[in-house]
Amino acid sequence: MRNRLAAILPTYAAVYSLCFLAAFLLRFDFRLPEIYQQVALISLPLVLSIKFTVCMVTGEWKRTFRYTTVTDLFSLIAGVVVAAGASYLLLSTLLTGLPLPRSVLVLDAMLTLFAVGLLRVGIRVVSEGAKRAGDDGRALIMGADPDAVGIARSLQSGSRPFRVVGFVDDCPRARNTLIAGIPVFPLAIDGEPVADLKSLARRRQADFVLVPSTVEGDTVRELIRLFAGTSVRVQVMPTVGDLLTQRDRLNVRDVTIADLLRREPAQLDREAIDELITDRRVLVTGAAGSIGSELCRQIAALSPESLVLVDHSETGLFLVEQELIDCTIPLHPVVCSVVDERAMTQVMIEHRPHLVFHAAAYKHVPLMEHNPQAAIANNVGGTRLMVDLSNRFGVDGFVLISTDKAVDPSSIMGATKLVSEKYLQAATIDSLTRMMIVRFGNVLDSAGSVVPTFRRQIVAGGPLTVTHPDMERFFMTIPEAVQLVLQAGAIGETGDVLILDMGEPVKIVDLARDMIELSGLKYPDDIDIVFSGTRPGEKLTETLFYQREHGARKIHEQIYRAPGMIPSSRERIESELTRLDQALGGTRSEAIETLRAVVAALVTDSESVADDQSMPAAA
């Protein structure tokens, strides 16, 4: 600041002095009478003192010249007007014996405004010109809304400057218009296309096409394919909303697979989520997993009283703890398994959580086909223990994170998650704990999912392996899934099956093609795709609803509440789980057969009870 003032003070003193003296000369047509020469010399120090005082009050010298804005110019106008008024009052009082034309002060104000404004704008023009000389490239921006315009201005003056050579908008009125001196090109007028993006990018010599992060995935996918094989790169531009919620940094970045699947972000009920988490003790199982770790990140940002992280992976838990170590809330990492009754009971005694998010589970479908006992012990046994402990210790809320594979399960993993759902629903009959199930499909880029597999295969030079050309799945990004889990936990009621709206299913082969193109390669010229056949336990398509759940109603923009199918009694499901426990000591085939029988019995029992409950009462 001292270095800046050393340059600013003499400059402003010279500008103010020249403006004041020029005002006298203009007033008297450059033939200044001797009496007014005396007035000018006497009043100049007083006028400078007033103007300097106003500058200090308005913070004129704190405003960075390189980033002068309209706000700075309005502040300058206000300061000039105040200084002129104060100068008139002071000089009229002190110079009673000398004439002081009021027109001189008006001219002085006008000259000062022009000179200082020109100084500020000139410095900004020179600064931006120097940056443009070394910019990182020329860019077309998709859209011409306030977000696009604001970010474009920031990019031009940021640490990585871009020269924006045009906005591309779908509004027909955008034709022949300019925004901040940048032309706007309409995509179509009266339904007829007027802009070929490839030729437009070539004419404007664009190196980049910047896409706002709110643009739908289908549009991003079309742009990627349009510019495939050219020198033009399609990149994502964060919006102001992304910056405010810290979802992105102020920079453009390459398109990711998540951008291709992007939906309009859900409008979360922040007040309800804050009320659920803030100043509450929270426990997350499976805290080192993809969903569990993101749950911990988002929960930590909501100021809970404390956060307990439970996982059997020492390394994974260490990494999550290190990531959250700078947060201000108490963190309690616990290395243990959710099937260890003694250890988990001690955790509940020590920490007394208000909320439990149960994300711990074995989830890999083909692997669990070969390890049914492990899937039953962990997925069913872990859920059973956590539900029972939550009841025993009076937990306020319990959220079981389930999967679409629990619906009409064809795999061991799906079957164990179905049994877990049924046990939780049965437990709600005599429980004071608010318990609910959140069910969603595949989580994009989670550990062991298809995206990391495709990424490794691309690095290795291919081919990419897809099980079947018609295989399709529902996908969500990890942060999106966790936000909706928290939302469901805030608004759900006990016994609810809350199903997250995941949009339309995506074909795995299309996902593979997208990842090839995002890598700058072409299918099938550079990398091929081969079909390996479906694996044990896999279905071609998944569904999020049972037939009886198709009457689910929306309770939130992206959350459905399905009517629960409750078993006839707690004793019945306890009996079925005893059968499963006994099967754990047998062979693999015995465990599979017992699991199938238990699933069939529980589904049949639920449907019969639901039918009985829907029958009209006898007259």
Phi and psi at 332, nearest 5°, equal -130, 85
List the structure tokens of 181: 């001196």
Separation between Cα atoms, residue 98 and residue 105, nearest integer Å = 15
Separation between Cα atoms, residue 291 and residue 284, nearest integer Å = 10
| 3-class state of residue 405 by DSSP | helix
| 3-class state of residue 429 by DSSP | helix
Separation between Cα atoms, residue 41 and residue 23, nearest integer Å = 13
DSSP state of 378: I
| 3-class state of residue 250 by DSSP | coil
Count of C-beta atoms within a 10 Å radius of residue 245: 10
**192-193 and 188-189 beta bridge pairing:** antiparallel
Q: Name the burial class of residue 617, with classes exposed (0-12), middle (13-18) and buried (19+) by CB atoms within 10 angstroms of its CB.
A: exposed
DSSP state of 265: P
Separation between Cα atoms, residue 40 and residue 582, nearest integer Å = 105
Separation between Cα atoms, residue 532 and residue 364, nearest integer Å = 18
Catalytic pick among 51, 131, 363, 405: 405
C-alpha distances (whole Å) from 518 to each of 249, 250, 259, 510 are 21, 22, 11, 12
Report the run of H or E that residue 55 belongs to, with start and end.
Answer: helix 34-58
CA-wise closest residue to 463 among 540, 517, 526: 526
List the structure tokens of 332: 């309690």
Contact call for residues 355 and 281 (beta carbons, < 8 A): yes
Strand positions, DSSP E, 182-330: 182-186, 188-189, 192-193, 208-212, 233-237, 253-254, 281-285, 306-311
Instruction: Write out 116-136 in H/E/C secondary structure.
Output: HHHHHHHHHHHHHHHHHHCCC
Phi and psi at 105, nearest 5°, equal -70, -35
Residue 131 annotated among the catalytic residues of the structure: no
| 3-class state of residue 4 by DSSP | helix
Type of residue at 516: I
Q: Name the burial class of residue 619, with classes exposed (0-12), middle (13-18) and buried (19+) by CB atoms within 10 angstroms of its CB.
A: exposed
Q: Name the burial class of residue 474, with classes exposed (0-12), middle (13-18) and buried (19+) by CB atoms within 10 angstroms of its CB.
A: buried
**Edge-first strand listing for the sheet containing 281-285:** 331-335, 306-311, 281-285, 355-358, 397-403, 434-440, 497-500, 559-562, 553-556
Residues in the chain: 619
Phi and psi at 369, nearest 5°, equal -65, -30
Phi and psi at 267, nearest 5°, equal -85, 100
List the structure tokens of 223: 């742009």
Residues with a catalytic annotation lie at: 405
